[in-house]
Every structure is written in C-alpha cells, then in structure tokens.
Structure 1
Amino acid sequence: MPSTFTAVSYGQTLSPAVMEKVRTVLTDHGYTIASERGEHHPGFEAVVLELGSLAPSGTTDAQAAARLARLRKALTEAGAGEVSTAVVPDSLRHAARKFIIMDVDSTLIQQEVIELLAAHAGAEAEVAKVTAAAMRGELDFAESLHHRVATLAGLPESVLAEVGAKVKLSVGAERFVAQAKAAGHVVAAVSGGFSQILAPLAERLGLDFALANDLEIIDGHLTGKVSGAVVDRASKAVQLQTWSAESGIRQGATMAIGDGANDLDMMAAAALGVAFNAKPAVREAADAQINLPNLDVALALANIQDA
C-alpha cells in the first residue's frame, strides 16, 4: 500500500482548538507533520497537513492498514463532529490524472429518483421505505430494485421528463465536476437508478463515463421492469476498474464517492472511498467521510486546484 499520506481537515469552520487536537493525534501516533497550509472554499474551510511515511520499514500491508485504521478512528474522535479529517494516500493527491467515480442518487444529486417516479404512481411512501432499507444494506439491491420498479408499471413515458426537470444537483456538485474536468481528470457516474435520468445529466456536466439501469418502455408506457442486468454494488466496482483502466489511470489514483450500501464495493476498490452524508454502515467502512452538504469537499481531498 502507499507509504506516504496527507491529512486533510475540513469543516464549515476550523477552530484552533480542534486543529490542535488533530495535530496532537498525528504526533501521538508517531507521524511527522512536514508542512501545513489552509484553504478557503465556498461553504467550507480545509487545512492540509503533509505527513511522512505512515508505515515503518518492514511493516506488512496488513499491519500498515491496521495502523491507519487506528489513526483514522482517533482523528474522528478528536474532531468530535466539529471537523472531519481524512488521511489520503499521496498516490491519489499527487497523481497527474485522477479517476473519480460517483454514485448519483443522494450523492451527485439531492434526491432519490425512484421516489420521485413512485410519487406519480401513488407509491412514494412504500418505495421510500424499501429504498432506505436497501441503502442500509438490509435488502438485496437487485431484488429491492425490481420490487420498486414494479410499482411504476403503466406510467406514461412523459413522467421521465417531468422527474428529470425536478432533479437538483448536490451543493458543490457542478463546481466539483467542472474543476476536476478542467484540471484534466476523468469523472464518471454509476447508478442503481435510471439511464433515462442520468444520460442528460451526464451530457450537461460533461461526464466521461456514465451507467445506470434502463427502464423498459413499451408503447409509450413504463412496464414496471428494467432491461438487462441490474447495476448493483458488484457492477459498480467493475465499472471503476474498467473505466479507470481504459483511461490509463492506475488504482492508486482513483476515488469513489457514495452514500449507500450499494456503493461499498466500488469504495473498497478505490484508493480512497468517500462516504457522502452516508448511512452509518457506509461511514464506518469508508476511508473518509464528508458530513457537510458540500460535494466539492472532495476537491480538497483529492488535491484538485483551480485550473
């Protein structure tokens, strides 16, 4: 695993007292702070602390991972909700080209599209309940998707345009994608939602890759089925690996961002897995957490500067 990392502390405000706790945790765990700088972004602040090696010579990958996990836990406790600190591999931060992949519903956008569609069928409450359980990892995603999509049977195709017009990007999403693209990085979105909604959004943002499920439409109406294989947690990880390889970007320069259990495999496959205002189980498994409404905190994590 990478031997050098950078700690990035971020929040709406960064008090001197909390930052001193962060520095103390790092030094108490044996890490040297080589340099420190502050960054000001719309809606949040960040402090970047360059660290030396986190793995002494002779440390195995398992030992290094365990040591890093202990550090991350201690930093989370030090922040106490006021500030988050991510320990980011320098293979990502210093890469000339990075690959960034995001979930869509409740990550790139603020809503769950299936719930917006279900409202037209009078099934919003039922679908929202199933969606929440699936995102917590309590239900098989493919099975839950088929159940939810079945409630849409008979809706006219026109509801897709109506719902698409209601979609709201997450705060900072447009800035995040635009700045990453302007700096020459590759940005992708993969969704357990629907291509009929994602495709125009991907075109608008200029995403390099996008994939979602296809709602089956016959004679101008939704059939309540999806066409082809379901985009589930395993396929999301496959797309990360496939698209990053096609782009000539190694695994060490990849970042995956998501909020639900369906995103866990791709987050694990990335050099940095980021939980965005996520469910508890996802936050626990992630390398980093963004618990602000700002998706563009990821710019600070990945060291993507204004072009």
Structure 2
Amino acid sequence: MPSTYSAVSYGQSLSPADLAQIRAALTNHGCTIASERRETHPGFAAAIFELGWLAMNGGDANRLVLLRQALSEVGPLEASTAVVPDSLLRAPRKFIIMDVDSTLIQQEVIELLASHAGTEAEVAKVTEAAMRGELDFAQSLHHRVATLAGLPESVLAEVGAKIKLSIGAERLIAQAKAAGHVVAAVSGGFAQILAPLAQQLGLDYALANELEIRDGRLTGKVAGTVVDRAAKAEHLRKWSAEAGIAAEATVAIGDGANDLDMMEAAALGVAFNAKPAVRAAADAQINLPNLDVALVLAGIVAT
C-alpha cells in the first residue's frame, strides 16, 4: 500500500504570505493538498496540510528528501515545515522518546556537577565537541566524569533542585499520556537525576548512566555500560515493542550526535534546537524553545 504524508508547518507566527509559499513549494514538487487546517498553541502557531501525493513508489525515494529540502528554504527563520508520514499521524497509540540534557531539560547536568568541582569550563568544552560528533561519546563521558571524583553525594540533590524543564515539556508529556500514548526518556546523563524527574513527570520508561558512589562520594566513574547512541536506538525498539507500538508510530527527539541513531530508528526523528549536523540528519526540526511542538508533529490531540 502506498505511503501518504502530511506537511506540518509551525512557528511563532505563520502569515498568509508564508502559507502561500509553503503551498507553492508543495505543488511545485508534485503534491496535491487534500485539506488544510490552522491551529493555535501556547507560544506557536501551526498549519497542517494533508497531501494527496503518494510517495515512496518505485524510484521516487528521493522525492521526499527533495521536498523536505525545498520546504526548509521556505518561510521566516522562526518557522519550519516537516513532512510527516500519515502512519504516525493516524496511529491510535504512539511512542515518544526524548533525550534529556538540553532537550527534556534546559541544562547539561554534567556541567552543573562540574561547577562544584571547578572543572565546568573543561567539561563544557568536551561536551560541546561530543554533541557535535567530534569525539567518541563513551570516551568523552568517562573523561568528564573523572573530573567529578571526590564530590560529595549531596551535590546530586543540589543539582537536581536546579533543573529547569524545557518550555512545553510538561504539556507534551501530560497531553501525550492523557491521550493514551507512551513517553520515554533516555539519557547519556545520570540516573540519579533522571529517576526522580521521571517519577515526577510520569514517564513510562527512563534510562541513564549510573554514577558510581562509594563512602558518600563520587568515584569519578560510571557503573555499568555507558548509555551511548546505540543504546538509545536499542531502547527505542525494545520499549516500543514492549508497549505494542509499531516502529511506524514512533518519534525520537534529541539535540546532539548521541541521539542520531534513535532518530534514524524512529518513524520521525526530530532535532530540538540542535547542533547543525543533527538538524541536517533529522526528519523535522524544532527551532523554537517549545518542546510541545512535538504534539503537532505527532498528530496528538489533547483529550
């Protein structure tokens, strides 16, 4: 059966001129617009174009890539248009998995911890390089965690109290859960921070690295296997299967190179205020400070 798609445009504002450009880009690439509707959300507006174009038939695999490229060049800088498979939009249950640091939350936890050790500048530099994909993630994590050796366990609670959720994060999770969908978080950060946050938000699944602690102090080591990009993709597949949700109904959201594998494994990979290499590889971009744009991308309507 042929695949169908919808184009979802979103931004702080969408003018009639912006929408006209989007329609032109769609029709210039052979799409017909079966229907169109507008939505208004806290902090952003959206327009959904249901396409009559049947994609991915025969040798037409490049058409989707070319259409996405054309749409990326349309409209104001703060607006984006994603081409979303209807298999996701129309799925009765969906699975959303997201990164934590700089995605679910606004900060990088390891940098907050490093500020207590006096190594924040060094750690921030390594983190940036790792998120750009310039360093092996596991190796960079061990290097950064080593700088935390000797810190008292109490700093974890202090850092946890400073966590700020990304704008729209609570709305995304609450509305997705209320509509019967499954929400997960997977992090190259630390379980000691994610676990209470996951409980507070009501996440269905959560996974992060475990900081080793002995005699009330951080040892500067990670206990067990590092949660890297491969592990993130693996748990997307594992958890969605456990929830009985097909791969065609999955969404992965992240900002760094460590998220690329799970974004590729998902039906829709979403770059959230991401590094350039991640934006280039993503199916969709959210370049606004509103994480709950993902509700529109996934076709989730609040109950």
Normalising TM by the smaller chain, what interval? over 0.9
Instruction: Provide the rounded CA distance (Å) in 2 between the counterparts of 1:118 and 1:108.
Output: 20
Instruction: Provide the rounded CA distance (Å) in 2 between the counterparts of 1:264 and 1:295.
Output: 18
Give yes or no for the alignment of 1:11 onto 2:7: no
Q: Conserved in 2, the CA contact under 8 Å of 1:13 and 1:45?
A: yes
What does residue 26 of structure 2 align with?
Answer: 26
TM-score (norm 1): 0.97
Instruction: Provide the rounded CA distance (Å) in 2 between the counterparts of 1:263 and 1:186.
Output: 19
**2:223 pairs with one of 223, 227, 249:** 227
What does residue 122 of structure 1 align with?
Answer: 118
What does residue 143 of structure 1 align with?
Answer: 139
What does residue 173 of structure 1 align with?
Answer: 169
SS of residue paired to 1:278: coil
The structural deviation recorded for 1:162 is 0.2
The structural deviation recorded for 1:78 is 1.3
1:128-277 matches, cutoff 5 A: 128-277=124-273
Give yes or no for the alignment of 1:105 onto 2:104: no
Give yes or no for the alignment of 1:45 onto 2:45: yes
Q: Conserved in 2, the CA contact under 8 Å of 1:2 and 1:90?
A: no
Q: Structure 1: which 5+ residue stretches go unaligned?
A: none
List per-residue Cα deviations over 1:6-34 (Å, max 9, x = no partner).
10000000011111000000001010100
The structural deviation recorded for 1:79 is 2.3
- Number of aligned pairs? 303
The structural deviation recorded for 1:224 is 0.1
Aligned alpha-carbon RMSD (Å)? 1.1
SS of residue paired to 1:47: strand
The structural deviation recorded for 1:2 is 6.2
1:17-96 matches, cutoff 5 A: 17-55=17-55, 58-60=57-59, 63-64=60-61, 66-96=62-92
List per-residue Cα deviations over 1:135-165 (Å, max 9, x = no partner).
0000000000000000000000000000000
Equivalent residue letter for 2:15: S
Q: Identity percentage over the alignment? A: 77
Give yes or no for the alignment of 1:300 onto 2:300: no
SS of residue paired to 2:107: coil
The structural deviation recorded for 1:265 is 0.1
The structural deviation recorded for 1:80 is 4.7
List per-residue Cα deviations over 1:180-221 (Å, max 9, x = no partner).
000000000000000000000000000000000000000000
TM-score (norm 2): 0.98
The structural deviation recorded for 1:55 is 2.0
SS of residue paired to 1:190: strand
Equivalent residue letter for 1:177: I
Q: Conserved in 2, the CA contact under 8 Å of 1:259 and 1:276?
A: yes
Instruction: Provide the rounded CA distance (Å) in 2 between the counterparts of 1:69 and 1:53.
Output: 14
Instruction: Provide the rounded CA distance (Å) in 1 between the counterparts of 2:46 and 2:190.
Output: 35
Q: Conserved in 1, the CA contact under 8 Å of 2:5 and 2:83?
A: yes
Instruction: Provide the rounded CA distance (Å) in 2 between the counterparts of 1:82 and 1:33.
Output: 23
Q: Structure 2: which 5+ residue stretches go unaligned?
A: none
Distance 1:35 1:111, change over 3 A: same
The structural deviation recorded for 1:53 is 3.2
